[in-house]
Chain A
Amino acid sequence: MDVFDKLKILTDAAKYDVACTSSGVNKKAAAGGIGSAAACGICHSFSADGRCISLFKVLLTNICIYDCKYCVNRRSNDTPRTMFSPRELAELTINFYRRNYIEGLFLSSGVLKNPDYTCEQIIETLRILREEYRFAGYIHAKAIPGADSALITRLGLLADRMSVNIELPSQNSLQLLAPDKSKHAIFTPMGHIQNRIRENSRDIVKYRHAPKFVPAGQSTQMIIGATADTDYQILNLTENLYKRYQLKRVFFSAYMPVAVDSLLPALDTAPPLWREHRLYQADWLLRFYGFAADELLDQQQQSFNPYLDPKCNWALHHMDSFPVEVNRASYRDLLRVPGIGVTSAQRIVTARRTTSLHFDNLKKLGVVLKRAQYFITCAGKTADGIKNTPNAMLRSLLSAKTLELYHSQFASRPEQLSLFHQPALRPLPQEASNNAGRV
Chain B
Amino acid sequence: MPAGSDLIYCYDGSFDGLLCCVFESYEKKEIPVDILVAATAQPLLFSTKEIPTDSQKAGRVLASIPQKLGPAALVFIQQAFLTCLGQKELYILLFLRLGYRNGPSVMNMLTDNVVGTLCRAVKHLERESHLFKGFLRFSIFSNVLVGEIEPKNYVLPLLTQHFCERYPEERFLIYDKTHGMGLVYQPYQSAVIPISSLDLPAADAEEQRFRELWQLFYDTIAIEGRYNPTCRMSHMPKRYWTYMTEFGSRPKEARPKLPDAGRTLLPIPVQEKLP
The answer to whether B220 has its CB under 8 Å from any CB of chain A is yes
The answer to whether B189 has its CB under 8 Å from any CB of chain A is no
> A29-B165, A42-B134, A44-B134 known; A16 and B256 CB under 8 Å?
no
Whether the Cβ atoms of B256 and A307 lie closer than 8 Å is: no
The answer to whether A336 has its CB under 8 Å from any CB of chain B is no
The answer to whether B239 has its CB under 8 Å from any CB of chain A is no
A46 to B139, CA, bound (A): 20
B256 to chain A, nearest CB (A): 4
The answer to whether A78 has its CB under 8 Å from any CB of chain B is yes
Whether the Cβ atoms of A354 and B214 lie closer than 8 Å is: no
A234 to chain B, nearest CB (A): 17
Residues of B within 8 A of A3 (CB): 213
Q: Mark B99-135, 1 if CB is under 8 A from A, else 0.
A: 0001001001111010010001000000000100111
Whether the Cβ atoms of B145 and A98 lie closer than 8 Å is: yes
A36 to B105, CA, bound (A): 36
The answer to whether B244 has its CB under 8 Å from any CB of chain A is yes
A381 to B271, CA, bound (A): 44
Residues of B within 8 A of A307 (CB): 274
Number of interface residues of B (CB under 8 A): 68
The answer to whether B226 has its CB under 8 Å from any CB of chain A is yes
Segment at the B interface, from A121-129, A181-189, A240-248, A357-365: A357-365
The answer to whether A370 has its CB under 8 Å from any CB of chain B is no
The answer to whether A56 has its CB under 8 Å from any CB of chain B is yes
Which residues B43-83 have CB closer than 8 A to chain A? none
Query: Is chain A's interface secondary structure helix, strand, loop, or mixed overall?
Result: loop
> A49-B222, A80-B263 known; A361 and B111 CB under 8 Å?
yes
Whether the Cβ atoms of B217 and A9 lie closer than 8 Å is: no
The answer to whether B205 has its CB under 8 Å from any CB of chain A is no
> A79-B263, A365-B116 known; A2 and B231 CB under 8 Å?
no
B83 to chain A, nearest CB (A): 17
Whether the Cβ atoms of B245 and A353 lie closer than 8 Å is: no
Whether the Cβ atoms of A36 and B137 lie closer than 8 Å is: no
Whether the Cβ atoms of A351 and B110 lie closer than 8 Å is: yes
Whether the Cβ atoms of B168 and A45 lie closer than 8 Å is: no
Residues of A within 8 A of B12 (CB): none
Whether the Cβ atoms of B235 and A270 lie closer than 8 Å is: no
Whether the Cβ atoms of A98 and B221 lie closer than 8 Å is: no
In this complex, which of A12, A35, A47 has the most chain B Cβ atoms within 10 angstroms of its Cβ? Answer: A47
Q: Mark A85-119, 1 if CB is under 8 A from B, else 0.
A: 00000001001101111010000000000000000
- Which 10 A-B residue pairings sit nearest by Cβ, starting from the closest? A50-B231, A78-B262, A270-B272, A49-B226, A48-B222, A50-B228, A47-B222, A28-B165, A361-B111, A351-B110
Residues of A whose CB lies within 8 Å of any CB of B are 2-5, 7-9, 11-12, 14-16, 28-29, 31-36, 38, 40, 42-54, 56-58, 78-80, 92, 95-96, 98-101, 103, 137, 254, 256-258, 267-274, 306-307, 347, 350-351, 353-355, 357, 361, 364-366, 405-406, 409, 439
